[in-house]
Structure 1
C-alpha cells in the first residue's frame, strides 16, 4: 500500500542523573564530593533510505523513544551516554512539527538529521563544591529529551512530473521511456499510486520522471485521488502536461488543459510558474485539423507542443531531447530548509518551580528548557534576550519572593549564575 503521510510521536532520551557521593579512602581525610555526571540521552535521528518508497510502516508503529543516559556514580564516574535512535524514512520525506506546521527536516540527501535532541546529563555534586559549601549534598537530575508530535509527508524527488486528466496516456508514456511498469488499462484511475521511472538518454545522461495520477477538476479541493498526490508535483523541476488531443472521451482538450492548470495553481501558486511542455497524445485518433488547431492554441499561450503516439513510441524522442535541454537550464530539485522555532510570546510562559538546596535556588519549568536550547550564552545579544525574558516572564520576581538576594546562586537546569539586583 502506498502511504505518503503519517503522524508519529518522537521522544529523545532523558539525560542521566548526577550522583551525590563523597570520597572515602583510608588515610585520606575529607576526601570531598566526587559524584559523577549523568550520561547524555539518545537523540532521535532521521535517515533517508533509498530502499523505502512509502510511509506504510508508520501506520503500525507511532511512537519512537530513545533511551535515557546512565546515571553518574561515585569516584567521579560519568554515566554512559545512551545510543541514538535511528528512524528510516523514504527519500524526499518532510518532517513537520504537528502543532505548528514548522518544517523540521527535509530528508532529501544522504546526511542524517537530528530531529529531537537527547537531554544533557545532570551534574554530580562535585560541581557544587565551593569554599563556603564544601559538602554539597545535592546533584542535578538529567535534562529531559525533546519530545514532538510530527507529521511525515513524502514528496517524491523527480525531475519531471507528468500531469493531466486520467486515461490520457501518462502511464503509457512512462512505461515506454523507462523501466517503470505501471498498471495500464482503458479506464479512469487505473493508476492509483505515483510511479517513478528513470529515463536514460545514453552517455551518462538521465532524469527521473514521475507519473502523478488522479488529477481531475476539483482535485485541489479533495475530489478524486488528485488531492492525495498533488504534493508530489511540488518538487518537480519541469512539468509535462499530457492531453488527449483527439477528444476520444467526448472531452474538449483545451478545457482539459485549462482545468488541470487551474488545479495546480489552486494547490500551490508556484506551480503555475513552473516550466511546462505540452504533449498531445493519441494523435492516431485525431484529425490533422484537430492537432493543428490545438497546437496553434497552445503555442499562442507560450508553450512548446509535441504531438505523439505514446503506445507505439511515435515521435517521443523529440520530446525527451527537449526535456533534457530544459532541465539543463533549471535549478536542482527543491530542498526545503528547516524553519526556526517561533519566539515565545507571553501566552507561552508557563509555571516555574523554585526550590532551595544548600543555598542554591533551583529554577525548573518545561518552557524554560525550550529557551535554553535556543540561546547562545557566549553572544551578548543572546544573553541580553535571556535576561529580558526572565524579567518579562516573572521568574526574577518569583526568585525575590523565595528569598533570593544579591550574590545568591541561581541554577536553571545546566545554567548557573549569581543573582544581581
Structure 2
C-alpha cells in the first residue's frame, strides 16, 4: 500500500508538472496556495485530477493509453459546459465544415441532447430521415448496435454519417408512445439546398428555408426574384419550421432581405471580439411585401434570430408555436493538430434586447399543427362536385393538389388566410 501510494504521488507530480508547463505564462500564479483565489491555479484540484488519471491507468478493467484518457478529459471539460460546446477530432471537424458548406453523407437529421438523451431537433427536407417519417423530438435509443446512452453528441453524429448507399438502423422512441421501433435508412449525399420557393396562389409566395448555410441569403434573394416574374407579390410566407439554424451571418442576410434598416441582432460575451452587432442595409429585396413567418419547436438558433428581428421591427406576423430557445453563439476554433473546438462564446439578443436562450420566440398568433377535416354532414352540393363538370379556365388542374396540401398543413393554410386578410385591410386603408 505504501509503495502504491508513492507511485501515485510520483505520477501525480509528473502529470501536474506537465499540466503547468502546458499553460501559458500569464495563467501561472505568482504563489500557489491550497485554496487559491479565482485568478490562481487550484493546486488541490490539479493534484486530484492527476491522481484520478493514475488510478484509471492502473486499475481500469482494460488498458487505456494516455492519449485516450487526455482526449476524453478534454471532451468532458467541454461537454459539461453546455450541450453545444464540444471537442472535435479530425473527422468531426471535417463533418462540421461539410454541414456548413451544405454537402455530406448521412441520413439528414439535426440532433441534440435533451435530458441526456439523443433527440431529433428536426429532419432536413427531402432526405432519408424526412421521407421515413422521423419527427422532431423523436429520441434515438440506438444507432445500429450501439446504444446512444453514453455517446457524446459528436460521437453520435459521426456514427450516423457514412458512405452513400450504406444502411443504418436507428431505434426510435416517439413521445406519447410506449414501445420503441426500428427504422432502417440508406445513407445519401445530403446536398442541403437550404431554400425552396413556389407560388401558392397568384400573388402569394411561399419561401421555405430549411437551414442557414453560407449562401442562404443569396438563394432567398434569387427565389423572390423568380416568384416576381409572374407579377408583384401580394404576400409572402417565410417558413422557418423545423429549421435548426446554422451560420449567423446567413441569418443576418435573410433578415436583411425584408428590412430597410435597423438592428437585426447583437451578441454579448466575455471577450471583446465576441461582442458584435448586425444591422440591415438599405438595399432590400422585399421591403413592403406583407409577411407571415411560420415557426415551431424545431425552429432554433439562426431561425430564431430571423424571427426575433422581424418580430421586434414589426415587419411581419410570427405564426405557429414557441420556438426551440437556443440563444447561444458557438465559435469554431481550429487547433494546431488538425482538430478543433466548438465553444459557446456569446449569447445573442433581438433588437429589443431579448435573450432567447431557453425561452424561445413566442408567436404573435399561436396556431398548432394539424389538418383540416372536411365532414360530409350538412355540406351542400356544388357544381364542382358534379362528375364531368366543365373546368374553369381560371382553375388549373394543380389547384386541387394545392388545396389538399393546405388541408394537410393547417398552419400553412392559416398563414395564407392571414396574408389575404392583411391585403384586404391594406386596400381599405388606401
TM-score, normalised with respect to structure 1 = 0.23
Which structure's residues are more often helix, by fraction? 2
Q: Under a length normalisation based on structure 2, what TM-score does the superposition of the two structures give?
A: 0.23
